[in-house]
């Protein structure tokens, strides 16, 4: 079988601490658990997950720009940058790939400053409040958006 097409799964700041970080809000699954879920879900849908995390805004923007050539779409949990980063939003708009935004927690049930995400306006789809399962839902949907769903 030929090499499956890649989608970028991009994780923003502090998500490397999942499992330890506020488990009542974000759950007990680690980022490694979520990475394994993403690899399995992507494979089920004939895709390959290029899974990355960074605490640095510029590194996330570089990853988005690099996805323009060679990746079919982007699943992103922008984490804290959801609520602050016009630059990340602009990068996502520039690459013109299908974008699915995911949040572990339901950001609308939380503090008011989390209710607005700059990324949502450039995302095809937003999933929040489903915990780690949101990544599986998001990848299944991204597979539909890129025409790879089985």
Is 103 annotated in the active site? yes
- Work out the number of other CB atoms within 10 angstroms of the CB of residue 133: 17
Residue 114 lies near ligand DQA (rule: CB under 6 A) = yes
Residue choice 45, 71, 89, 103 for contact with ligand DQA (CB under 6 A): 103
**Six-digit token string for 4:** 């499956």
Residue choice 4, 6, 19, 80 for contact with ligand DQA (CB under 6 A): 80
| Full 3-state SS string of 10-56 | EECCCHHHCCCCCHHHHCCCCHHHHHHHHHHHHHHCCEEEEEEECCC
Classify residue 149 as exposed, middle or buried by CB count within 10 Å of its CB (0-12, 13-18, 19+): middle
Site string for ligand DQA, 2-31 (x = CB under 6 A): ------------x-----------------
- Residue 4 or 131 having the CB closest to ligand DQA: 131
Shortest CB 113 distance to ligand DQA, Å:
8
Distance, in Å, from the CA atom of 10 to the CA atom of 133, rounded to the nearest integer, reads 16
Binding residues (CB under 6 A) for ligand DQA: these are 14, 77, 79-80, 82, 103-105, 107, 114
Active site amino acids? 26, 103
């Amino acid at each position: 079988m030929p090499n499956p097409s890649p989608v970028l799964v991009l994780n923003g700041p502090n998500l490397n601490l999942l499992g330890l970080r506020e488990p009542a809000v974000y759950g007990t699954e680690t980022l490694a658990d979520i990475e394994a879920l993403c690899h399995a879900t992507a494979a089920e849908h004939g895709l390959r997950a290029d899974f990355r995390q960074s605490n640095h805004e510029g590194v996330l923007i570089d990853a988005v720009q690099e996805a323009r050539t060679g990746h079919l779409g982007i699943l992103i949990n922008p984490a804290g940058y959801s609520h602050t980063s016009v630059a990340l939003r602009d990068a996502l708009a520039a690459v013109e790939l299908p974008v699915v935004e995911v949040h572990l927690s339901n950001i609308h049930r939380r503090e008011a400053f989390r209710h607005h995400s700059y990324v949502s306006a450039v995302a095809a789809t937003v999933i929040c409040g489903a915990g780690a399962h949101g990544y599986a839902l998001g990848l299944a949907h991204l597979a539909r958006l890129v025409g790879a769903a089985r």
